[in-house]
Amino acid sequence: MLTERQLLILQTIIDNFIDTAHPIGSRALSKDESIQLSSATIRNVMADLEDMALLEKTHSSSGRIPSEKGYRYYVDHIITPKMKQKELNIIKHVMQNKMVDFEQIVQLSADLLSQLTNYTTVILGPNDMDATLKQVQLVKISDTTAVAILVTNTGHVEHKSFTVPSTISMSELEKLMNILNDRLQNVPLVQLPYTLQSEVYALMEKHIHNYEVMYDYIQSVLTYDDSTKIYVGGQSNILMQPEFKDVEKIYDFYTMLENEQLMIDLLSKQSEGIQASIGNENEHEAIKHFSLITSSYKLNDNQTGKIALIGPTRMEYRKVFSLMQALSDEISEIFYPHSNE
């Protein structure tokens, strides 16, 4: 454990470095009103912290900067989440706009979090195949074309167009919609093909003219890929950080960000709650110079998604932890009311 003096100096150096991105020397610390210590004492404490690998020098004549170990100690033992009421109000106001489209809410959340932090946000949706079908609407938009609007229990809304045979009337399309909603409501997406074949086909044969052709179209419309979606906000925010002037670091980061499957695999491995991976704690080379902060949100008893924020190791951890917890709670409350009680 660190002494009171060591904790004070470490916290002050990290807080200052987060704000300025400049190394902190003993002279600057001695002018800090919160530190009532002599320059000599400050230098000795800084040397002790450097020996513990909590601080490091950028070059021989510079002040100190936090090491990754220093940031880890800061996150685990020093900070407590802190957020301005203004930021909390922004999240609540934006998220209480009563939107029902899952994609809308999650993409807005990604954009909002990136704007409030100036970092890059990645939000992982639940695997669609874990969801169930809530409702089907069939809307005829021309003599030969209709759109199927599919709504899942998670709020995911998908639009799929299909051809309507000329022999199918509007009344038969309505019959078909009633059949689908009666037989497919609350059916897991992964089981849709089986239920179509075992239950819907017989009813279509009985009630729908030219049912075989219509069945082929509906079967294609109600086929889902086993996929998880990601939503990204603030892709360019990393360019604003002074430590990322190295083109190679940025190239590797953006290459990773564009690889959806890699991002899905990375975020799927993260544990529930707020988690922080700092610098070399990250397994992927592309983010060895970054911090990855993740939290989770709930859609129901069985489904969760992940929120990730990627920024420099010189990250505003207090603010980030609070924002992510608040956003996770708001998303959970929209889709799964009272889940946080």
Q: For 139-179, what is each residue's pLDDT tens digit?
A: 888 878 888 888 887 777 778 888 887 777 888 888 988 99
| Domain CATH code at residue 208 | 3.30.390.60
Residue 92 makes CB contacts below 8 A (sequence gap 6+) with 330
**pLDDT band at residue 127 under the 50/70/90 scheme:** low
- Of 62, 54, 60, the C-alpha closest to 22 is 62
pLDDT of residue 339: 55
Residue 303 has pLDDT above 80, yes or no: no
Domain of 326? 85-129+229-335
In the chain, % of residues over pLDDT 90: 40
In a domain, 341, yes or no: no
Q: Are residues 329 and 240 in the same domain?
A: yes
Pairwise CA distance, residues 295 & 105, whole Å: 17
* Whether the predicted model's global pTM rises above the 0.85 cut: no
pLDDT tens digits for range 64-99: 999 999 999 999 999 887 767 777 778 877 777 655
Within a domain: 210: yes
β-pair partners for 290: 312
Query: Do 118 and 160 share a domain, yes or no?
Result: no
Which residue in this structure is represented by tokens 């003219």?
209
Phi and psi torsions of 9, nearest 5°: -65, -45
Tally of structural domains, the chain: 3
Please report where in the chains the tokens 């491995």 appear, as a residue.
269
Please check whether residues 93 and 188 belong to one and the same domain: no
Contact call for residues 91 and 327 (beta carbons, < 8 A): yes
Among 319, 324, 293, 327, smallest CA distance to 91 is for 327
Instruction: Look over the chain and give the mean of its residue pLDDT values, rounded to a whole number.
Output: 87
Angle between the N-to-C axes of helices 247-258 and 260-268, in degrees from 0 to 180, rounded to the nearest 10: 80
Q: Is 312 helix (H, G, I), strand (E, B) or coil?
A: strand
Task: Match 């979090």 to its residue by tokens.
Answer: 113
Return the residue matching tokens 């004070």. 8
CB of 304 closer than 8 Å to CB of 93: no
Give domain status of residue 262, yes or no.
Answer: yes
Mean pLDDT for 8-17 is: 95
Could you read off the pLDDT of 223-275 as tens digits, one per residue? 766 567 889 999 999 998 888 887 877 899 999 999 988 998 999 888 888 99
